[in-house]
Amino acid sequence: QVQLVQSGAEVKKPGASVKVSCKASGYTFTSYDINWVRQATGQGLEWMGWMNPNSGNTGYAQKFQGRVTMTRNTSISTAYMELSSLRSEDTAVYYCARGFVVAGAFDIWGQGTMVTVSS
């Protein structure tokens, strides 16, 4: 079945970087954009950016410009999101989500990866 499977939970110190992976299966990885959305505990959803797995083109939310990098490895159908200069406010669950063909919706989501930033 169509699914996105993310890497496991991470604990990082302030100032460090984290790289989360998102492995796609059940569909052609290069045919759909991958987006990243995060959610702090008890808070709403925050979009971070998108990547076209075919071209590698990316677009980042202004808030994360300069701190986030989205990449992919098409040979293993995996997308990555790296966030640098971590601070406590980055503690959240990070989701990857497939871009639906219509209306910029996200139709398939990963299970989420908890990233904790703590000294």
Partner 1 sequence: DIQMTQSPSSLSASVGDRVTITCRASQSISSYLNWYQQKPGKAPKLLIYAASSLQSGVPSRFSGSGSGTDFTLTISSLQPEDFATYYCQQSYSSITFGQGTRLEIK
Residue 48: exposed, middle, or buried by beta-carbon count in 10 A (0-12, 13-18, 19+)? Answer: buried
Distance separating alpha carbons of residues 96 and 11, to the nearest angstrom: 19
User: In angstroms, what is the minimal distance from the CB of 13 to partner 1?
Assistant: 26
Distance separating alpha carbons of residues 57 and 108, to the nearest angstrom: 20
User: In angstroms, what is the minimal distance from the CB of 29 to partner 1?
Assistant: 19
Beta strands 58-60 and 68-73 are: unpaired
In the shown chain, the binding pattern of residues 19 to 38 toward partner 1, with x for contact by CB under 8 A and - for none, equals ----------------x-x-
Q: Which of 83, 106, 115, 117 binds partner 1 (CB under 8 A)?
A: 106
Residue 78: exposed, middle, or buried by beta-carbon count in 10 A (0-12, 13-18, 19+)? Answer: buried
Give yes or no for residue 46 binding partner 1 (CB under 8 A): yes
User: In angstroms, what is the minimal distance from the CB of 15 to partner 1?
Assistant: 28
Contact 35, 47 (CB under 8 A): yes
Q: Which of 29, 110, 115, 117 binds partner 1 (CB under 8 A)?
A: 110
Q: Which of 58, 84, 109, 116 binds partner 1 (CB under 8 A)?
A: 109
Give yes or no for residue 80 binding partner 1 (CB under 8 A): no
